[in-house]
């Protein structure tokens, strides 16, 4: 998929350098993701791979959702059974192969909030299987870092990360508006976000349409692969 260049850098890189974000920055990023989910879900598309690495900033500091490799046009009353996503963000129903739908995106939104506020997702272990076992124990088993996550933020994360998909905020009758009305977002300028008049708390310097300085620099790979001369396809 061809998108415009987002030269403000990766949210993951900025989070790595800062270690964690304050609540205002987390609200802005989460709000951008929520608007993207609203757009996708209204068209019957589930995303399934939310994480800081898949969030890029444009020149104005607004967040763009990228990498739709796990996305699927599902419709409004169907489920899918494909096991995909990043281990720390996978919802319980995906692990248990019960079939899943857009509810997995609301689960992942709660995980994203926790990682943005603390620098780490709530469920993490040395290998994926251990991570999945932690996820199945549930969000209520997590000790929240109170100096990073206030009561309102903790409340929203827990409501997004309910074990039962039908109980998750955003999946119920009020839809995404239920998330926007949560007390953690009290006073947030949703109209300003949609109209892009709300100043972004992360504004990276972008000096032109070819400025890549907000991304990590990697050395040039000078290795030349050897010619393949086995003639395996001679009679193909």
Alpha carbon separation from 109 to 34, 144, 157, 205, 221 (Å, rounded): 8, 16, 8, 28, 36
Q: What is the DSSP letter of 141?
A: G
* Residue showing tokens 């100043």: 199
Domain 9-195 has CATH 1.10.510.10: yes
The model carries a pTM of 0.91
Choice among 17, 24, 49, 105 that is catalytic = 49
Q: Which residues of 33-54 are buried (b: 16+ CB within 10 A; e: fewer)?
A: bbbbbbebbeeebbbbbbbbeb
Q: Across residues 159-175, what is the average pLDDT?
A: 96
Give the per-residue pLDDT at 235: 82
Assess contact for 200 and 62: CB atoms under 8 A. Answer: yes
Res 221 pLDDT > 90: no
Give the per-residue pLDDT at 19: 96
Q: Across residues 176-188, what is the average pLDDT?
A: 98
Res 1 pLDDT > 80: no
Task: For residues 144 and 173, give the distance between their C-alpha atoms in angstroms, rounded to a whole number.
Answer: 29
Task: For residues 21 and 19, give the distance between their C-alpha atoms in angstroms, rounded to a whole number.
Answer: 7
Res 102 pLDDT > 80: yes
**pLDDT tens, residue by residue, 51-72:** 999 999 999 999 999 999 999 9
The residue extents of the domains of the chain are 9-195
17: annotated active-site residue:
no
Res 31 pLDDT > 90: yes
């Amino acid at each position: 998929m061809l998108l415009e260049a987002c030269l403000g850098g990766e949210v993951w890189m900025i989070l790595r350098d800062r270690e964690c974000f304050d609540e205002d920055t987390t609200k802005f990023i989460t709000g951008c993701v929520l608007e993207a989910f609203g757009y996708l879900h209204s068209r019957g598309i589930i995303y399934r791979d939310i994480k800081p690495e898949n969030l890029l900033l444009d020149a104005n500091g607004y967040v763009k959702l990228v990498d739709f490799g796990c996305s699927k046009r599902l419709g409004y009353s169907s489920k899918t059974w494909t096991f995909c996503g990043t281990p720390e963000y996978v919802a319980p129903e995906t692990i248990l192969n019960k079939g899943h739908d857009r509810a997995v995106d609301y689960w992942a939104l709660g995980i994203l909030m926790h990682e943005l506020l603390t620098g780490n997702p709530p469920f993490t272990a040395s290998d994926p299987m251990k991570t999945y076992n932690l996820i199945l124990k549930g969000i209520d088993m997590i000790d929240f870092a109170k100096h990073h996550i206030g009561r309102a933020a903790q409340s929203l994360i827990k409501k997004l990360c309910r074990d039962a998909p039908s109980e998750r905020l955003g999946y119920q009758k009020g839809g995404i508006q239920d998330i926007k009305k949560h007390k953690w977002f009290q006073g947030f300028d949703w109209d300003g976000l949609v109209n892009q008049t709300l100043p972004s708390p992360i504004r990276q310097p972008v000096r032109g349409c070819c400025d890549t300085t907000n991304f990590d620099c990697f050395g040039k790979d000078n290795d030349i692969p050897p010619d393949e001369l086995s003639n395996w396809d001679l009679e193909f």
